[in-house]
């Protein structure tokens, strides 16, 4: 039967091990860059979907 008492120091030790491992990474998440053409295509798709949804909403409401 497992011990029902929770030991908080175990969670703290696991977090510290995780944080220490993460601090050694060489690349920061914000340094990864997407190509400009991909970003432009994604933005165009988002705008197109928003326009289509707006037109559909106008047709349904009006």
pLDDT in tens, 22-57: 655 566 656 667 888 999 999 999 999 999 999 999
pLDDT digits (tens, 9 = 90+) for 8-18: 666 777 778 77
DSSP 32-47: ----HHHHHHHHHHHH
What is the distance between the alpha carbons of residues 18 and 24, in angstroms, rounded to a whole number? Answer: 10
pTM higher than the cut 0.75: no
């Amino acid at each position: 039967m497992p011990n029902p008492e929770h030991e908080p120091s175990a969670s703290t030790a696991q977090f510290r091990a995780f944080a220490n491992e993460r601090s050694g990474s060489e690349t920061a998440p914000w340094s990864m860059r997407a190509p400009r053409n991909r970003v432009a295509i994604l933005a165009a798709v988002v705008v197109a979907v928003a326009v289509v949804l707006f037109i559909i909403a106008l047709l349904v409401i009006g």
